[in-house]
A and B are shown apart, each in its own frame.
Chain A
Amino acid sequence: MSDYREREKSISIGTIEQEPVSGTRLEPGAGVDAGEERGEAELLTINLGPHHPATHGVLRLLCTLEGETVRTIDPIIGYVHTGIEKSCEDQEYWKAITFVERMDYLSYYFNAYAYCSAVETLLDEEVPPRAQYLRVIHMELNRIASHLFWLGTGALDIGAITMLWWALRERDLILDLFEMSSGQRFHTRYFQVGGVMEDIPPGFEGKVREFLSQMPSRVDQYEALLDRNEIWLQRTQNTGIVPLEQLLGLGVTGPLLRAAGKPWDLRKAMPYCSYEDFDFKIPVGTVGDNYDRYRVRMAEIRESVGIVQQALDGLPEGPYITGNRKVALPPRHELATSMEALIHHFKLVTEGFRVPPGEAYVAVESPRGELGCFIVADGSAKPARVHMRDPSFVNLQALKHMGEGSVIADFIACLAMLDPILGGIDR
């Protein structure tokens, strides 16, 4: 075999030994200060952000660097803090859905679902099965869209720029589907307390099936580009490993926890919204490095495609929102004929429905982890406290442990694979 092949076979892909740069490789007398011998390095404190291409929003990281090695990381957040939780206390329950949607701005359906579900728990409201299936369809499509955006920007950070164009191309198709069902691409206000806002239009199912038929081959294309790519493997394998107990202590959930080996997914463990009717697997990683996180999310895209397929096949007939007129708006055609419907409509639009006093905490599995919504109701038409337990906020604490001691390039890869969304972190 040729010379080149012989040489190629002799190269093994191993880990890069990281040693501090201070004085170990310099010859004595090479212009280095006598004080800067091994062990007495100068640390450089530098701000990564808040305006930086790789920080996925306005995250500021105060790092101290020793050469290329990151010694300490201190995330400083709050640059896009909008006071959403406080604003919600001033709005009626159904108006607060629009506020809450804008927290984690890539997974808006999940925010809306967690909130609506908490209100439904407080009201003791039943959601009809058709509405549940429609919610599942939209949530899983949103999961695919969120993972695609993560893939595009994450790969962009590591250097695979092509992925951004491909991922945005698919994302546009999904956003078209959302526009078809609710009129808006983003922040669609489609989930209401008690069900969904409107039934799906006639061509929706056909378009979704068309999208689903293309999606697996597209995922194959992405994997063909990145899975065995030498540069990708070097950048993501064996980097950013945090032991599983530490992750559990830090409160990390979602693909990060699953990549470390723990098969915890709220859709399977504590099912909600008729997820128990669907047959899907949970991808789990083994090593817990960045490559596993990438593989887990790619496999999740495939599983979500399967779930939407099953939901479309089994979509039951029936009402798309609860029939309780004290909570849900009556359909428009009834307003012309029934006086009661008019009164209900008026009451709901001006004052809103009242929720009996109580507290509820409901958690769902968003693309980033456990998204919980805590509502305190005091008997009036406005919530007394809305708090979202955002997964990115809690997962950010793991960044310290992932990044300290690694080189900057690995640290950027960790940040890309962590998938933080600053809207959720800062709320």
Chain B
Amino acid sequence: MDATGLELVAQRVRDAVADDAVVGTGYQRGQATLDVAPPRVHEVLRYLRDADEQPFGFLASLHGCDYLPSEPRLGVHYQLLSMERRDRLGVRTRVTVEEPHLPSVTDLFPTANFQEREAYDFFGVVFDGHPDPRRILMPEDYVGHPQRRDFPMGGEPVLFTFNEHKFPRWYE
């Protein structure tokens, strides 16, 4: 997919779904990205999977990203793959922490099941319509969303001779 192809896809999505669906496009170093508005994600992916003249039938990856300090903070990426044309396309949405709702695409791509749970677990993005919305990798009663940028790294301070008296051991 090259830059002009990407623009054509964006135009077709605008025509087919809605004018405000596509927020922008980005093309750099061979990677094409389509920016989509959060409420329209499901329709855009359905169009790209079924109705487009260059369909993408395989969801290779669904992952989240925290774009702190630029708002809106939480981003979700859908990496689409077309096995027939050997082509990739990335679809990206951004949601805020206050309103982190996105439509779930598990009915279109069943592979999104575990991957949306992971995005919820680590970033707090809530997928409406997901059949099993619970944490997947952290313990079920964990509080917080670890991979956000403002979540502390955790762990223990490394003890050297100059600072070991400052940290009480666990048996003290």
Contact = CB atoms under 8 A, between A and B. Distances in A.
* A and B in contact, CB less than 8 Å: yes
A359 interface: yes
Interface string B94-112: 0000000000000001110
Interface stretch (B7-15, B39-47, B56-64, B162-170): B56-64
B61 A426 contact: no
Interface in B5-59: 28-31, 33, 57-59
B66 A372 contact: no
B28 A374 contact: no
Nearest to A362: B31
Interface in B76-134: 77, 79, 83, 86, 88, 90, 109-111, 113-115, 118
A78 B111 contact: no
Contacts of A394: 111, 114-115
Interface in A344-380: 358-361, 363, 370, 372, 374, 376
A374 B63 contact: yes
B3 interface: no
A48 interface: no
Contacts of A44: none
Interface string B138-153: 1100000011010101
Contacts of A427: 137
In this complex, which of A77, A81, A385, A389 has the most chain B Cβ atoms within 10 angstroms of its Cβ? A385
A361 B65 contact: no
Nearest to B138: A78
B139 to A, nearest CB: 7
A372 B60 contact: yes
A358 B136 CA distance: 29
A188 interface: no
B139 A251 contact: no
Contacts of A270: 86
B114 A393 contact: yes
Chain B interface extent, by class:
35 or more
Interface stretch (A83-91, A213-221, A413-421): A83-91
A385 B66 contact: yes
Contact of A372 (B61, B109, B136, B146): B61
A98 to B, nearest CB: 16
A86 B146 contact: yes
A302 interface: no
Interface in A109-132: 121-122, 124
Contact of B147 (A85, A269, A359): A85
Interface SS majority for chain A: mixed
A361 B88 contact: yes
Given A77-B137, A83-B146, A376 B86 contact: no
A358 B66 contact: no
Nearest to A122: B29
A143 B138 CA distance: 30
Contact of A77 (B86, B136, B151): B136
Nearest to A360: B31
Contact of B139 (A78, A87, A372): A78
Of all A-B residue pairs in the complex, the 6 with the closest CB atoms, nearest first, are A251-B111, A389-B61, A78-B137, A81-B137, A387-B63, A385-B65
Interface of B: 28-31, 33, 57-61, 63, 65-67, 77, 79, 83, 86, 88, 90, 109-111, 113-115, 118, 135-139, 146-147, 149, 151, 153-154
Interface of A: 77-78, 81, 83, 85-87, 89-90, 121-122, 124, 246, 248-252, 262, 264, 269-270, 358-361, 363, 370, 372, 374, 376, 384-385, 387, 389, 393-394, 396-397, 426-427
23 contacts: A78-B135, A78-B138, A81-B137, A81-B138, A85-B147, A87-B153, A246-B110, A251-B109, A251-B110, A251-B111, A270-B86, A361-B61, A363-B60, A372-B61, A374-B61, A374-B77, A376-B65, A384-B65, A385-B65, A385-B66, A397-B111, A397-B114, A426-B137
